[in-house]
Amino acid sequence: MIRFDPIKNRIYNDERSIKIGYRETRVLELLLKNSPEIVSKQDIINFAWGSEFIGDTSLAKSISLVRQGFVRLGIKETPIVTVPKIGYRLIDECVFIDSQVTSVTYIPLVTVSDHVPIDTHEIDALSVEQTLSDHQQSVSNRNRLCYFTTGCLLLASALMAFAKINDRSLGDTYPVNRLNEQWIGQMQVFQEQDMVLSPELEAILYKYQCDCVAYISEEPGHSELSLLDKATRQSVNIFYTPAQSDRVSAEIALFLKRGQL
């Protein structure tokens, strides 16, 4: 069982604890909140990065880092499933959030007048000092707000000037990553632009024809094939190396057989 602590940004079990980044924590938190439903890529990006302009590559890297954390915890099959062209989903009842009850210590208040005699002159002096201190603090806060507002306006002006000089839109500054699309029989296949589909994998996909969408990606040390059956809405992730084509064929056959049950 994997436990997740979103406060300390870590995933752990009884044997090990793995530290993950803030973005990865936000990604896993949203997937866990909606498990086992599919969460779109754009929803994950909005939740984890807010208004920042990023592409699918940054999201894929964060997903890969979380999966590597699961592997380091001894999990052979990742609970995060890729749904091609849509997003990701987390398998139900695989990750549990760590809930800790924060205990609050209450300190009883003691009435000062019960122990110390009241001096009205000291009270008046303290009241004047407190009033002056509050006024100075208020002035300081207003000054800080003015400085902050001025800085924001200057930054906005600089950005607008930069945009006019370069005469390009945000869409040009932050290009969207595109995928190569091809059809192998009835199967719609997507992969990165710089990837080349191997003849062995192409032959396997020709062999198992179905109304499916396939997404092929390369991770450090292995490749990943994600299949989504349009009819059953079921999906599977297959991790393999170039020498494991037989395993890929067997996994696809088993996946299609389960969809017919």
- Cβ neighbors of 6 (< 8 A, separation 6 or more) are 25, 28, 29, 97, 98
- For residue 38, tell me if it sits in a domain: yes
Q: What is the pTM of this model?
A: 0.45
Strand partners, 188: 183, 213
The amino acid present at 66, given as its one-letter code, is V
SS3 146: helix
In terms of Cβ atoms closer than 10 Å to its own Cβ (0-12, 13-18, 19+), residue 111 is exposed
Select from 126, 157, 177 the last residue of a domain.
Answer: 177
- For residue 202, tell me if it sits in a domain: yes
SS3 40: strand
- For residue 125, tell me if it sits in a domain: no
Residue 118 has pLDDT above 60, yes or no: no
Average model confidence (pLDDT) across the chain:
77
Select from 70, 97, 124 the last residue of a domain.
Answer: 97
Q: Are 21 and 62 in contact (CB under 8 A)?
A: yes
Confidence of residue 92 (pLDDT cuts 50, 70, 90): confident
Q: Please tell me the distance from the alpha carbon of residue 194 to that of residue 25, in angstroms, as a whole number.
A: 29
SS3 216: strand
Same domain, 193 and 228: yes
Residue 227 has pLDDT above 50, yes or no: yes
CATH number at residue 15: 1.10.10.10
- For residue 105, tell me if it sits in a domain: no
Same domain, 7 and 93: yes
Task: Pick the range with the lowest mean pLDDT from 56-70, 176-190, 207-221, 243-257.
Answer: 176-190
- For residue 113, tell me if it sits in a domain: no
Mean pLDDT of 223-235: 87
Domain that holds residue 196: 179-259
pLDDT at site 40:
93
| Number of domains forming the structure of the chain | 3
- Cβ neighbors of 34 (< 8 A, separation 6 or more) are 89, 90
Same domain, 28 and 80: yes
- For residue 236, tell me if it sits in a domain: yes
- For residue 215, tell me if it sits in a domain: yes
